[in-house]
Amino acid sequence: MASIKVRQNGPYLVDGDDVTLVDWNGVSYPVPRRPFAICRCGGSSTKPFCDGTHSRTGFAAAEAAVPGSQDRPASADK
């Protein structure tokens, strides 16, 4: 089973052996270890992976899971 953990003011932490990270052409990125972190701040020089830049730039993410929220993914509205 795969999991994606949203780190507070940090990257997405992806874990699971059944996860493949691919670009827009479907070409796989080599993943050196698991779990691995995907940049969420946009500042990494090793995108799509996190290189720790978020901690130096003071990246502050607003998103958090809200229990009981009525929000749904955009695709759920179609």
Binding site residues, ligand FES, CB under 6 A:
10-11, 39-41, 43-44, 50-54
Minimum Å gap between C-beta 6 and ligand FES is 11
8 Å CB contact between 53 and 43: yes
Element holding 38 (H helix, E strand): strand 36-38
Question: How many other CB atoms are found less than 10 A from the CB of residue 40?
Answer: 19
> Of 16 and 52, which has the nearer Cβ to ligand FES?
52
> Of 21 and 53, which has the nearer Cβ to ligand FES?
53
**Which residues on adjacent β-strands are paired with residue 5?**
13
Minimum Å gap between C-beta 56 and ligand FES is 9
